[in-house]
Amino acid sequence: MRGLAFYHGFGGMGGGGLALLLFGLLKLVFVVAIVVLIVVMVRRMHRRGMVMHGMHHDMMPGAAPSAPAEDEAVGIARKRFATGEITKEQFDEIMKSLV
C-alpha cells in the first residue's frame, strides 16, 4: 500500500490540478495566438486595400480602381512643396504625372 500512496501523490493520477492549470494556460495561449494572427492578416489586407466596406465606389462596375499609392505620392509632393524642397513648377509637373 505504501508504494501506491507514493505513486499517487507524485504525478500519478492525483496530480490533476497542475495538469488542468497547464492545459488551461495552453488553451489560452492558443486562442490569443489565433486572435493575433487574425488581427495581423486584417491589417495587412486593409493596408493593401483588399478589405471591402460594402459597395465602395471603386468596386462598382466600370469604375477605375482607386490608387492608394497615388494618394500617398500626392501627400508627399504637397509636403515637399510646403517645406520648400521643390519649386512650384516641380510640384505642378509631379501632379500632372500622378493625375
Cβ pair 62, 54 in contact under 8 A: no
Residue 97 is predicted with a pLDDT of 86
Look up residue 67 and give its DSSP letter.
Answer: -
CB-count burial class (<10 Å; 0-12, 13-18, 19+) for 77: buried
Residue 55 is predicted with a pLDDT of 45
pLDDT in tens, 50-79: 655 554 444 445 445 555 667 888 889 999
Q: What is the grid cell recorded at 73?
A: 505620392
Higher per-residue confidence, 10 vs 18: 18
In angstroms, the CA 91 to CA 97 distance is: 10
Q: What's the pTM value of the predicted model, to 2 decimals? A: 0.37
**pLDDT exceeds 80 at position 49:** no
In angstroms, the CA 99 to CA 97 distance is: 6
Residue 57 is predicted with a pLDDT of 46
